[in-house]
Amino acid sequence: MNRIHGLPRDWFSDGGNMINPSKCALINSDTWATVSKSYKQELLEISSLRHILHQKAATAFAFPNGIPIKDRIKKLDSVAPDHLSAKKKVQMKYFNYKDLDDTVPLFAFVGRVTSQKGVHLILDTAESIIERCGGKIQIIVGGPANMGEPYSAGCAHKMWHLKNKYPHSFWAAPEEFFTDGSLINRGADFGLMPSAFEPGGIV
């Protein structure tokens, strides 16, 4: 390994057979950071590299990438006071229901229509699921598709087909930016996240 990376062996290993590139990064960094205060504390207590982490603990920091819970709840409350009232709004607005029907499960995806998000996995199975359920299911795919990108354009055409064929069971408008995210967050029975990967972890 020394011949490959040209760096001191002890930057990568504690003398055994395990290679740990994180050790090299930490040794040669001025400081380190992580995604939450609780995770920072956990690393300082139980990480196999805690002896190195403690050497830079005075300057280490944690920046939570999560959602401010109180603000988020306020926003959700502003669109609907509870799940069922939100679901009723969704069913009436997107599926032309006259009232709430809580016997119909509501599945929702909100995000960009890109290959990274795996939207095709929803679209490739939606029709068979709708048929198997006798139409007693609702699926929303909220998010814009870039028609200049082949993957997104292909998804958009599938969305229009499903929306036209099953107007009480499938809704999407890939030509528009979706603005009802908070209502969907509160009203959906199930959230769909078929992502191939999530680099930020916020979702």
Of 13-17, 60-64, 76-80, the one with minimum mean pLDDT is 13-17
In the chain, what are the domain boundaries? 2-62, 81-191
**Residue 200 pLDDT level (bands cut at 50, 70, 90):** low
pTM value? 0.71
What does the pLDDT read at residue 104? 98
CATH superfamily of 81-191: Glycogen Phosphorylase B; (3.40.50.2000)
Q: What is the pLDDT of residues 30-57, one digit of tens each?
A: 999 988 888 899 999 999 899 999 999 9
Q: Which residues pair with 190 in a beta bridge?
A: 107
